[in-house]
Structure 1
Amino acid sequence: SHNPKEYNGFKAYGPDGAQLGPADADRAAAEMAKVKDLPVMLKKTPSFKETTASPLFSWMGDDIDKAFDDCLLSFTLSHDAVKCHHDLPIVYSPLYGAGNLPVRRILKKHGFTNVHVVKEQENPDGNFPTTPTPNPELPETLELAIKQARDMGADLVMATDPDADRTGVAIRTADDQFVLLSGNEIGLLLMDYILDKLSSSDKLPKGAFCVSTIVSSRLTIPISQRYGTGLYFSLTGFKHIAHEIYQHQELEKGAFLFGYEESFGYLVGDHVRDKDAVGACLMIAEMAADSKDHGETLNDRLMRLYQTYGQAAEKTISIYREGKVGLERISYAMDQLREKPLEGFEALNPVTLSDYATSAKTCLKTGKKETLNLPTSNVLLYELEGIDFMCIRPSGTEPKIKVYFGCYGDDRNACDKRLAEYEELVLQRVNLLLGD
């Protein structure tokens, strides 16, 4: 995935193409825990020849690639713009992973003729020699791609992580610099682009909806309101977004259009139930061509988005405590925050507190409670004035507490100022609970 080479693993999927949900994952983990002697078990594992001879085994051939590509191409929205700007210069890096062939293939099929791969990062290599972490959300990971884009005059840089589910984007600004878009900015641009194109051509389906997460940008709210579409929030992780898609599309007969989370995962269309960097790259490139067709850059489009829906100051911080003691302190801190949710946070003026461990949302002014309908999770979400929010949760993979902030309004400086104040208050409180 996007992790350093020291972390190897796999994802487990169910029959619907989504990652296993909590209950199924727990059952799978319980079966894995029963394995006491791994070397002995591995000796009993069928050989490659025996495995491929099994009636349960089948190769995925070109027919699957074609079906996947055809599905993605059916979601495209600006064919004339791509035809006109087919030579839009694009630099792409697969970061030594699986995106190399499918991303370049789908861009070519859609008509893009000027796509350049970063040669040093083109071929599979699990040691990731040019970057310590093949994470496309980090500026250092895109250094080679940005240098190549600067040298050849490209305006768009895209990179996918090794398993091609996360997508990073860098764009040229008016002062001829490259900036890395945040996960929220990419998601908001795609959401607004898709809804705008469908709405302006009277193709917005009945029951249309999008899905995001409780820690992602709240500018999805005014965007969905503008186009009259549904908007649902899930817990972090695309397996939870997939559940919301199933709930509102399969059970309630809605029409899913787009889903994203701030950690650089996007899904355009309902062809799969996980974040898909191949489809994301296709739509980002098309959006860049459409912007050029309207005489603007992607940076211009982003600035216009903020002018239309409001300014945003968003940030995620991680507070680490190493070792077994660190994990114990993190658990203690979450318990104390849950027991005394307002202590130290009075200046935040929180309006509601959603405790996903107890599935309870409390109005902090009246004390009135309502039941949350998402799965239980060790997460505290504070809704502040307007659509500002602050969310705290422990990491599921590292010894740290993650805190997410979102501040919104007409004045960007005012948003930045509030975010800095929120961050200072939270750091004081959490560090006090965690100790040295």
Structure 2
Amino acid sequence: MSWEQVYELWNNEENLDEALKAQLQILKQNPVELEDAFYTQLEFGTAGMRGILGPGINRMNIYTIRQATEGLARFMDQQDPETKRRGVAIAHDSRHMSPEFAMEAAKTLAKHNIPAFVFESLRPTPELSFAVRYLKAFTGIMITASHNPAEYNGYKVYGEDGGQMPPADADALTKFVRSVENPLKVEVLSEEEVEHSGLINIIGEEIDSEYLKNVKSVTINQALIDQMGKDLKLVYTPLHGTGKMLGERALKQAGFEQFVLVPEQAIPDPDFTTVKSPNPEEHSAFEYAIRLGEKEGADLLIATDPDADRLGAAVRLPDGTYQVLTGNQLGALMIQYILTAHQTAGTLPANATVLKSIVSSELSTAIAKKFDTDMVSVLTGFKFIAEKIQQYEEDHTKTFMFGFEESYGYLVKPFVRDKDAIQALVLLAEVAAYYKQQDKTLYDGLQDIFEEFGYYTEKTISVTMSGIEGAGKIAALMKKFREEAPSEFAGEAVVQTEDFKLLTRVGLDGHLEKLTTPPSDVLKYQLADESWIAIRPSGTEPKIKFYIAVKAESQDAANQKVVDYENSINAIVNE
């Protein structure tokens, strides 16, 4: 069926949602946008789906939500009755249509006699992960587009372990989702039926309280917080999202008293009015926090993204200004503290293990090595960290200490199986207290780490390529790097090439090894100077990402290497 025919189906649908019908009339005036909304189905992959709000099969709306959930319901229909009765936990963030999408998902499940446990109001993504485990639900749904701009929303599916579904389960689910041919015809419970079905259960404070009880275990040195918690000055911004409710309570519970919320950004706002992008990776997201930090003389500024699974921070420099740290730098600070604190307390297990993604800094590996702690690298996507945690719990080979991704995702304790910015908020405050006790800031702590292990510097370059044409360009670029493999970047020889799609590792001598990870469309080049470069298309956004990681004897030398490698990458891309 052509996109024009699909469009006509929607245009002629008598019962089409009134708001979408009005938007469709406007969309008709823009042929390019109209085609983009209907030319393909919104991709449902291992991370669920994410897209622009609006009418069409390539947009987020109540019908694509119903389609995805109908696929999930059919998947659950294949399970035994007892498994099916465990139901689905559902949460949502502060975005446009998030509450409505959560209820549409619940009504679709209920049509299949599947119970849903829906949060009464917005909640962080990590709490949804916790709720799946706490309720012993079969699966979970999180309505969120994480840190994307205001016009986006998304739908993520979680497995019974509380992690995002691993590839095998996600592939099976995806087949059921794609078997739903016409999203306009998916049946849901009526409002009257909802009231009498007993299948949609509203949840809230009970889960909040249990989650916060578990957050207490994040604190390693309570005596330190008891001593310094009254003096450490923090500024926290939830960037108009879900973090305030639990973040504020978690900080108070741990013993941090001198924190203030950025008032303009503490209010949930689906338009994210005060920021260009509600993304703690973006320095501009800290504009209001920096202003308040300067006024308060704050030691540390912390921001969480709208669904509170990612955390960013800015540290005070010697001159009183603030510097936003990278995800890798924050990861290094937290790993250094966790391992130091446990070693000091005599509680560091002999089989202690830290997990990171393959595109995260090797500085963390160097730190772990110092403490005789294993570092295990997994594919990008926190579900792979969750899989390893589950494996270690089952085979008792390793003890999980910390997991992180360079894209500002951290997990301290595995009662959650996804990135958890609430846990990271409490831990980072403790790390700041540790340095303040020594009359140091987190910036000073980072400099100590660099002096000991070398100056590691990383940069991620994200290139957005939207629409039909963009998807083709991304595919062509990956093909180009595979078929015309570079032998050097900025004059530095490539000594090893890893292709995670073909699962191969090839050295300078041509010796080939097989990689043991699941296949993923990632290329990684190890260079002669211990630097590395990686390339991967984003799994959730129309972007291709280039990762640069270098090590040098000074910060200036490291910065120059990054510039040289970035210029080299641009030259190849623009050939």
Please report the TM-score for the alignment, with normalisation by the length of structure 2.
0.71
* SS class of match (2:367): helix
User: Is 2:522 aligned against 1:371?
Assistant: no
Task: Show the counterpart of 1:4.
Answer: 149
1:329 is aligned with what amino acid?
K
Bigger Rg, structure 1 or 2: 2
Distance 2:207 2:397 in 1: 27
Say which is worse superposed, 314-323 or 174-183, in terms of deviation: 314-323
Is 2:490–2:564's contact at 8 Å kept on the other side of the alignment?
A: no
Residue deviations 1:376-408 (CA, integer Å, cap 9, x gap): 111110111253111011233444431101111
1:300 is aligned with what amino acid?
D
Is 2:234–2:301's contact at 8 Å kept on the other side of the alignment?
A: yes
User: Is 2:160 aligned against 1:15?
Assistant: yes
Distance 1:39 1:319 in 2: 34
2:149 is aligned with what amino acid?
P
Task: Show the counterpart of 1:381.
Answer: 524
2:474 is aligned with what amino acid?
I
Which residues in structure 2 correspond to 1:38-57 (within 5 Å)? 38-41=183-186, 44-47=187-190, 50-51=193-194, 57=200
Say which is worse superposed, 115-124 or 196-205, in terms of deviation: 115-124
Structure 1 residue 137 displacement after superposition: 1.5
Distance 1:212 1:303 in 2: 22
Higher relative contact order (CA 8 A, sep 6+): 1
Residue deviations 1:17-54 (CA, integer Å, cap 9, x gap): 0001222223333322333443442xx31246755765
- % identity of equivalent residues: 39
Structure 1 residue 199 displacement after superposition: 1.0
Task: Show the counterpart of 2:171.
Answer: 26
User: Is 2:442 aligned against 1:294?
Assistant: no
2:381 is aligned with what amino acid?
G
Which residue among 129, 139, 157 is the counterpart of 2:301? 157
Distance 1:321 1:90 in 2: 38
Distance 2:264 2:559 in 1: 38
* SS class of match (2:288): helix
Say which is worse superposed, 76-85 or 218-227, in terms of deviation: 76-85
Which residues in structure 2 correspond to 1:285-434 (within 5 Å)? 285-342=429-486, 345=489, 347-364=491-508, 366-432=509-575
Distance 2:288 2:464 in 1: 30
Distance 1:219 1:241 in 2: 18
Residue deviations 1:284-315 (CA, integer Å, cap 9, x gap): 11111111112211111111111111101211
Which residues in structure 2 correspond to 1:31-180 (within 5 Å)? 31-41=176-186, 44-47=187-190, 50-51=193-194, 57-87=200-230, 88-180=232-324
Task: Show the counterpart of 2:121.
Answer: none
Distance 1:89 1:117 in 2: 11
Distance 1:150 1:342 in 2: 46
Structure 1 residue 352 displacement after superposition: 0.9
C-alpha distance 318-65 of structure 1, shift in aligned 2 (>3 A)? closer
Say which is worse superposed, 375-384 or 392-401, in terms of deviation: 392-401
User: Is 2:364 aligned against 1:220?
Assistant: yes
C-alpha distance 331-37 of structure 1, shift in aligned 2 (>3 A)? closer
Is 2:488–2:494's contact at 8 Å kept on the other side of the alignment?
A: no
C-alpha distance 297-344 of structure 1, shift in aligned 2 (>3 A)? closer
Structure 1 residue 232 displacement after superposition: 0.6
1:72 is aligned with what amino acid?
V
Distance 1:385 1:8 in 2: 42
Is 1:354–1:381's contact at 8 Å kept on the other side of the alignment?
A: yes
Say which is worse superposed, 306-315 or 411-420, in terms of deviation: 411-420
Distance 2:438 2:191 in 1: 54
Task: Show the counterpart of 1:204.
Answer: 348
Task: Show the counterpart of 1:238.
Answer: 382
1:64 is aligned with what amino acid?
I
Which residues in structure 2 correspond to 1:181-192 (within 5 Å)? 181-192=325-336
Is 2:218–2:426's contact at 8 Å kept on the other side of the alignment?
A: no
Residue deviations 1:225-270 (CA, integer Å, cap 9, x gap): 1001111111111112212222344335311010111111100021
1:387 is aligned with what amino acid?
E
Say which is worse superposed, 129-138 or 214-223, in terms of deviation: 129-138
Structure 1 residue 130 displacement after superposition: 1.2
1:214 is aligned with what amino acid?
I
2:420 is aligned with what amino acid?
D
Is 2:237–2:261's contact at 8 Å kept on the other side of the alignment?
A: yes
* CA RMSD after TM alignment: 2.0
Question: Which ranges of structure 2 fall in alignment gaps of 5 or more residues?
Answer: 1-145
Is 1:136–1:159's contact at 8 Å kept on the other side of the alignment?
A: yes
* SS class of match (2:563): helix
Distance 1:175 1:286 in 2: 23
Structure 1 residue 321 displacement after superposition: 4.4
* SS class of match (1:390): strand
Is 2:361–2:458's contact at 8 Å kept on the other side of the alignment?
A: yes
Structure 1 residue 414 displacement after superposition: 2.4
Distance 2:149 2:565 in 1: 31
Say which is worse superposed, 62-71 or 214-223, in terms of deviation: 62-71
Task: Show the counterpart of 2:111.
Answer: none
Is 2:276–2:284's contact at 8 Å kept on the other side of the alignment?
A: no
Structure 1 residue 200 displacement after superposition: 1.5
Structure 1 residue 56 displacement after superposition: 5.3
Say which is worse superposed, 335-344 or 387-396, in terms of deviation: 335-344
Distance 2:530 2:193 in 1: 57
Distance 1:230 1:58 in 2: 43
Is 1:232–1:244's contact at 8 Å kept on the other side of the alignment?
A: no
C-alpha distance 51-386 of structure 1, shift in aligned 2 (>3 A)? farther
Distance 2:161 2:321 in 1: 43
Residue deviations 1:193-214 (CA, integer Å, cap 9, x gap): 1011001211001311011111
* SS class of match (1:351): strand
C-alpha distance 321-111 of structure 1, shift in aligned 2 (>3 A)? closer
Residue deviations 1:64-118 (CA, integer Å, cap 9, x gap): 3233222221231221221122222211111122111111101101111122111
Is 2:312–2:408's contact at 8 Å kept on the other side of the alignment?
A: yes
Please report the TM-score for the alignment, with normalisation by the length of structure 1.
0.93
1:62 is aligned with what amino acid?
E
Structure 1 residue 430 displacement after superposition: 1.9
